[in-house]
Amino acid sequence: MNERVTVRDCVEELKMEVISGEEYLDRDVTKSFLSRPGVEIYADYFTFYEKDRIQVMGSKEFNLYTMLTEKEQDDRLRKLFEGNPPAFVFTKHVTEIPEKFIEFSNKYCIPILKSNLTTTALTGDLSTFLSDAGAITKSVHGVMMDVNGVGVLIKGKSFVGKSESALELLYRGHTLVSDDRVEVYQLEVGTVFGKTPKMTERLMEVRGLGLIDVVDLFGVTAFRKKKKVMLIVELVKWDQSNPYNRLGIDEETEKVFDTLIPKVTIPVQPGRNIATLIEVAAMNWRLKSFGRNVAKEFVDKLNRVVKGVDKQ
């Protein structure tokens, strides 16, 4: 993890209840993985205690704890808390949190949290959040859209029509992720996500109209916080001397972090419906992902005609 993430961020994102240690929520979370200390609790085996992770206390860990004597409970808890983990989280099926946990929470300044999720759901959601929040991000000037399930990053210089095209796509039922600035991050090679900065969630700037809230105007389906970047669309001003890519044989890519992402360049001039072109580009990308490449099929057919294999 590279960006600073705190226990408070986890509490707010997963809507967890703070049982103890409200004043300690600004503790850093440095690992995206979680720990379930069942072996440590029951067997007193701390050689591989993952003390730098959030500790998840599900029903199994809780029941193992209740099987110990009072002296053993004190000893195990002391070792757990002396490891100084970021926090302890009790999951849905633990209905009563032992008072000794709260006592040690106050002694060691470590928060105790409660989630309404089951252990499996919590570990999945919390790990995903920590991976996303802790990834290295960079800010890209552009608009991020979900077009029929395809994550499209629309780039281009100012005044080229990015926001106006995105507004037209919204009107057609597609989904906005972020306008003007997109935060992109790579989970692993081949997987890059774009997300909206918190300050501009749901907002779009349209020159002449100002800021608009897309959810208020188009409904809740008009906005989502993040989407995988599958296609980059570069909008450029029309240049008569530029031949552009007419057949689509030469496939462009753009490197974002360590990932090559397919890219199309669309020249902009009066009379061209850019939103429609972006829509078609997204559909064409999906077609290619299923193995259908119309440009390649055309060239192959043309070659067969030239060689006399097929009749025109």
269 band by pLDDT with thresholds 50, 70 and 90: confident
Residues 149 and 277 in one domain: yes
What pLDDT was estimated at residue 311? 57
Residue 2 domain flag: no
What pLDDT was estimated at residue 187? 85
Domain closes at, from 89, 116, 134: 134
What pLDDT was estimated at residue 246? 63
Residues 114 and 181 in one domain: no
Mean pLDDT value across the chain: 91
What pLDDT was estimated at residue 104? 97
Catalytic one of 4, 93, 138, 141: 141
Q: What's the rounded mean pLDDT across residues 44-54?
A: 96
What pLDDT was estimated at residue 254? 95
Residues 290 and 146 in one domain: yes
2 band by pLDDT with thresholds 50, 70 and 90: low
Residue 188 domain flag: yes
Residues 127 and 46 in one domain: yes
Residues 119 and 151 in one domain: no
Residue 174 annotated in active site: no
Residues 182 and 117 in one domain: no
What is the domain-level CATH number for residue 11? 3.40.1390.20
Residue 266 domain flag: yes
Domain interval for residue 97: 7-134
CB atoms within 10 A of CB 10: 24
Residue 307 domain flag: no
Residue 162 annotated in active site: yes
Residues 292 and 176 in one domain: yes
Per residue in 209-235, pLDDT tens?
889 999 999 999 999 999 999 999 999
Per residue in 182-212, pLDDT tens?
999 998 899 999 999 989 999 999 888 889 9
Catalytic one of 76, 174, 180, 227: 180
Residue 306 domain flag: no
Q: Cα(2)–Cα(11) distance, rounded to whole angstroms?
A: 19
| Residue 36 reports pLDDT greater than 80 | yes
Residue 296 annotated in active site: no
Beta strands in the chain (DSSP E): 17-20, 34-35, 54-57, 88-90, 112-114, 137-141, 143-147, 150-156, 175-178, 181-188, 191-195, 203-206, 210-213, 226-228, 231-237, 252-256, 259-268
Domain closes at, from 105, 134, 163: 134
Residues 285 and 166 in one domain: yes
Percent of residues, the chain, with pLDDT higher than 90: 75
| Residue 249 reports pLDDT greater than 70 | no
| Residue 1 reports pLDDT greater than 90 | no
Residues 161 and 271 in one domain: yes
What pLDDT was estimated at residue 310? 61
Percent of residues, the chain, with pLDDT higher than 70: 92
| Residue 10 reports pLDDT greater than 60 | yes
Split into its structural domains, the chain has a count of 2
Domain closes at, from 94, 112, 134: 134
Per residue in 59-115, pLDDT tens?
999 999 999 999 999 999 999 999 999 999 999 999 999 999 999 999 999 999 999
pTM reported for the whole predicted model:
0.71
Measured distance between the N- and C-terminal CA atoms of the chain, rounded to whole angstroms: 59
CB contact at 8 A, 6 and 28 = yes
| Residue 304 reports pLDDT greater than 90 | no
Catalytic one of 27, 162, 174, 195: 162
What is the domain-level CATH number for residue 237? 3.40.50.300
Residue 312 domain flag: no
Catalytic one of 15, 246, 255, 311: 246
Residues 95 and 238 in one domain: no
| Residue 147 reports pLDDT greater than 90 | yes
| Residue 242 reports pLDDT greater than 90 | no
Q: What's the rounded mean pLDDT across residues 22-40?
A: 95
Residues 210 and 94 in one domain: no
Residue 310 domain flag: no
Per residue in 286-301, pLDDT tens?
988 888 777 677 667 7
Residues 220 and 280 in one domain: yes
Per residue in 172-181, pLDDT tens?
999 999 999 9
Residue 287 domain flag: yes
**What letter does residue 225 receive in the DSSP assignment?**
S
Select from 129, 123, 92 the least CA-distant residue to 12: 129
